[in-house]
A and B are shown apart, each in its own frame.
Chain A
């Protein structure tokens, strides 16, 4: 749970100074520090940014009366702005999930190294 919240907060902060892929860095670092098990790592990593990104997207979609998201949906050929919101969430989630997973695995292997 804490991991989830931390992921979202750090993603928000890093995005103020770095482009979109900054979330990979924060995800990696948190995965490294908190070292969740692999399944959870990807799952929580994915969920955090899925919620964060699609949440923001949904807010904007509603505040904008769906004007832009509908146009983008047509541009991408996906038929509905809701799908665009989902895609937004999935993109963020995938990157974050892999980042957290990678962080955890690296920490994992370093630990094993030091044990040896």
Chain B
């Protein structure tokens, strides 16, 4: 009894310490929540409390081990670092140091994700994601990129300088200084290596060029027929305004490729869910020439649209060293500036979205999968064993088979009569060796159009529409990247992995990439729409963004004169919807008004008076979006749901054209009813459905129906940790408007640059330089962003006398 009395508190004590030192997973209503080790976590000395910022950093001189150079970093009032160095090694070392100091967790999370190592640090719940990452060949692609970087002395130097800087910061850290997320997820920072830069770059390819519709297109072609495909995915909407204006004449002949006589029909297979391309990952950019501006010098604008996160995917920096003085935003993990300007030029990017991801149906010799049929013979496969470590668990070994196309994934078929699994190999741009850093290095230092073109020639992926403007008065746009030379529609369906005619037969020569310089109309622009007019000799894709944003930008720029930076800033916030303009009048016309209640009439009146701006303070945008969505679904879902195969849905702009032109379009009829419905029937039914759903979801018709609430604009934390984001922002915009804010997507950076003898930049992103949720700087730009503000960017010509604080790296 005595022993028991003695032992019990001791056992409890040990038990308590043990429990409080470990992560705990608890089940709440079917969901598993993982709590950080509570004892470690709430310790005021070294737990999360240590990350609460209670005083501003002070100027300091830091002696960094192993660093023989010298760099001065001045932080301005928004805490943007301005780096002054005397040589390139010191410059990029300092960039690595400073980025790590503000965004270490972001750098680590992104590269762990890009290399399929999340499970190693976070545990089993990330295992399935890691497996997909490995199977996609992400680490494989990064290894190839690394090899190519090693071959370029300059790139290799700066990648290593950057790594050294990052590591100098990491080695200065004690556990109590670890960024907050490490404490929440309970792991420690690890050393940075050059291959992580490669991982980060491949991650951008995954984000921007990592989707395709091959399975869906194949299935849809099979199920609804080639006519349906032609009607919805080949005919371009009339209002489409391609990026390179149709007036551009092409002065070359394409390099021909041979196409097969008939298109391969693949075994119907369930679509691989992770690869679908969501809309929302796109962007706007444009440049106007001096002939249209007040100053007589060009103005350039860019707002890339991405998933909005805290911290932001972007980070502002100024790099100043002999030969370079550039300001802009960077991606955490790569040296250099990705979007920005210098004393002579400005540049920006939007996603091209060309088809650089193709699936090939593989014919294996037998279950060993050691050989596959191609070009009339059996060829050997190679095996790559992916070792996935799991925190607190057993290491998982995943064997991935590689063909010359790429890695193979097994696809379960639920349509195929014989119920045999199907194997698809992936040919993907991310698997190419690439040294994109070299392109940004060149852009950062470019002084004119020729320099810009030279820099672009090094760029591989993900293909971007690079907009350009210079002090000399030039404006230009290149649809740029390494692009496969394809026959028309090659790769939009699942390809025949046995026939070499389906392989990528070559590349479009750099000089043949669509481009335009100083067009007569006085402006260039891109909003992810078609790259060029149908007369462009090469095939790039059949699936670009709907026409609305591109046309709106061009319509506005065409009529504007005496343009100022403020005009461009306002234009970035333009929320006009061509979708509403082209569809709503017809919906109102087809609406049967026989049995309307008073509220219904009020709503219809509101819609009639609406000016098509997706303004947060208006109710009409909410109603329109929901009504048009219900209408679209009513037309297609009944037919689409008659098969289990996943199919491809028509894009909204083409849908609007067809539905207006064809009152007898057979999909209008609801096949689940005996009656043959007309547009009027469907539109009216959708109207009542919408009213009921909005009443249910938002409450009674009134202020609560405002678009600012319905748009569901959230900025989640990068690792989706609750409490560390910003939710429910009352915003304007829509995916079809220039201000393409919607849900968790939107303009992740807004920039306007006025060229001239003194280049002036304006910009912001919804976040802050600091990646520390305990700092007021973490999210301070979210509200200005929501309101459409831009800050004047502090582009320093020489070392400043006034600054917030300074770090001297020695």
B776 at the interface (CB under 8 A from A): yes
Given A68-B773, A71-B723, A76-B35, residue A24 in contact with residue B17 (CB < 8 A): yes
Cβ-defined contact, A67 with B39, below 8 A: no
User: B2 interface residue, CB < 8 Å from A?
Assistant: yes
- Distance of A21 from chain B, by nearest CB (Å): 5
- Is the C-beta of A56 less than 8 angstroms from some C-beta in chain B? yes
Chain A: CB-nearest residue to B43: A20
Looking at the complex, which one of A53, A101, A109 makes contact with B44 (CB distance below 8 Å)? Answer: A53
Q: A95-B17, A95-B39, A112-B2 are in contact. Are A67 and B9 (CB under 8 A)?
A: no
A1 within 8 A of B: no
Residue of A nearest to B54 (CB): A63
Chain A nearest CB, measured from B23 CB (Å): 13
Asked, given contacts A24-B13, A53-B42, A68-B774, whether A74 binds B722 with beta carbons under 8 Å apart, the answer is yes
Within 8 A of A (CB), among B3-59: 3, 5-6, 9-10, 12-13, 16-17, 20-21, 35, 38-40, 42-49, 51-55
Q: A53-B42, A60-B44, A67-B774 are in contact. Are A101 and B49 (CB under 8 A)?
A: no
Say if the beta carbon of A72 comes within 8 Å of chain B.
yes
Structural contact, B723 and A75, CB atoms closer than 8 A: yes
B54 adjacent to A91 (CB under 8 Å): no
Are B44 and A71 closer than 8 Å at their CB atoms? no
* Measured CA separation A77–B44 after assembly (Å): 20
Does B10 lie within 8 Å of A87, measured CB to CB? no
Q: Is A19 an interface residue (CB 8 A)?
A: yes
Shortest distance from the beta carbon of B553 to any chain A beta carbon, whole Å = 38
- Contact A105 B38, CB 8 Å, known A75-B724, A95-B13, A95-B17: no
Name the one of B10, B20, B48, B175 contacting A68, with C-beta atoms under 8 angstroms. Answer: B48
Residues in B with CB closer than 8 Å to A56 are 44-45, 49
In the docked arrangement, what's the CA distance between A102 and B9, Å? 5
Whether a CB of chain A sits under 8 angstroms from the CB of B721 is: yes
When distances are taken between beta carbons in the complex, the residues of chain A under 8 Å from B38 are 87, 91
Whole-angstrom CA separation of A66 from B630 in the bound complex: 44
Residue from the list A21, A99, A106 in contact with B39, Cβ < 8 A: A21
Q: Which residue of A lies closest to B773 (CB)?
A: A71
- By a CB distance below 8 angstroms, the chain B residues around A69 are 52
Is residue A64 contacting chain B, with contact meaning CB distance below 8 A? yes
B184 at the interface (CB under 8 A from A): yes
Q: Are B723 and A74 in contact (CB under 8 A)?
A: yes
Q: Report if A26 contacts B (CB, 8 A).
A: no
Q: A10 to nearest B CB, angstroms?
A: 14
**Is B457 in the interface zone, CB < 8 Å from A?**
no
- A20 engages B47 (CB within 8 Å): yes
Size range of the chain B interface in the assembly:
35 or more
Q: Which residues of B contact A65 (CB under 8 A)?
A: 776
Q: Quick one: closest B residue to A56, CB to CB?
A: B44
Q: With the chains together, A88 CA to B44 CA distance in Å?
A: 8
- Asked if B87 CB lies within 8 Å of chain A CBs, one says no
Residues in A neighbouring B17, C-beta threshold 8 A? 21, 24, 95
- Are A71 and B724 interface neighbours, CB within 8 A? yes
Q: Which of B21, B49, B773 contacts A21 (CB 8 A)?
A: B21
C-alpha gap A63/B774 in the complex (Å): 11
Contacts of A24 in B (CB 8 A): 13, 17
Select from chain A the residue with minimum beta-carbon distance to B721: A75
Known: A19-B46, A68-B48, A75-B721. A109 touches B2 (CB 8 A): yes
Determine if A94 is an interface residue (Cβ-Cβ < 8 Å): yes
List of B residues within 8 angstroms of A109 by Cβ: 2-3, 6
B678 within 8 A of A: no
Contact with B along A64-108 (1 / 0, CB 8 A): 110111011111110000001001100110110011011001101
Q: Which of A25-43 contact B (CB under 8 A)?
A: 28
Q: Shortest CB–CB separation between residue A5 and chain B, in angstroms?
A: 18
* B residues less than 8 Å from A63 (CB atoms): 52, 54-55
The answer, yes or no, to whether A3 is at the interface (CB within 8 Å) is: no
Known contacts A21-B39, A73-B723, A109-B3; 7 further A-B pairs (Cβ under 8 A): A64-B53, A68-B774, A71-B724, A88-B44, A92-B42, A105-B5, A106-B10
The interface of chain A, by Cβ under 8 A from chain B, is: 15, 19-21, 24, 28, 53, 56-57, 60-61, 63-65, 67-69, 71-77, 84, 87-88, 91-92, 94-95, 98-99, 101-102, 105-106, 108-109, 112
B contact set with A: CB distance below 8 Å = 2-3, 5-6, 9-10, 12-13, 16-17, 20-21, 35, 38-40, 42-49, 51-55, 175, 180, 184, 721-724, 773-776, 778
Q: Sample 16 A-B pairs with CB under 8 A, ordered by A number.
A: A19-B43, A20-B45, A20-B46, A20-B47, A53-B42, A56-B44, A57-B49, A68-B53, A75-B722, A75-B724, A84-B42, A95-B17, A99-B13, A105-B5, A105-B9, A106-B10
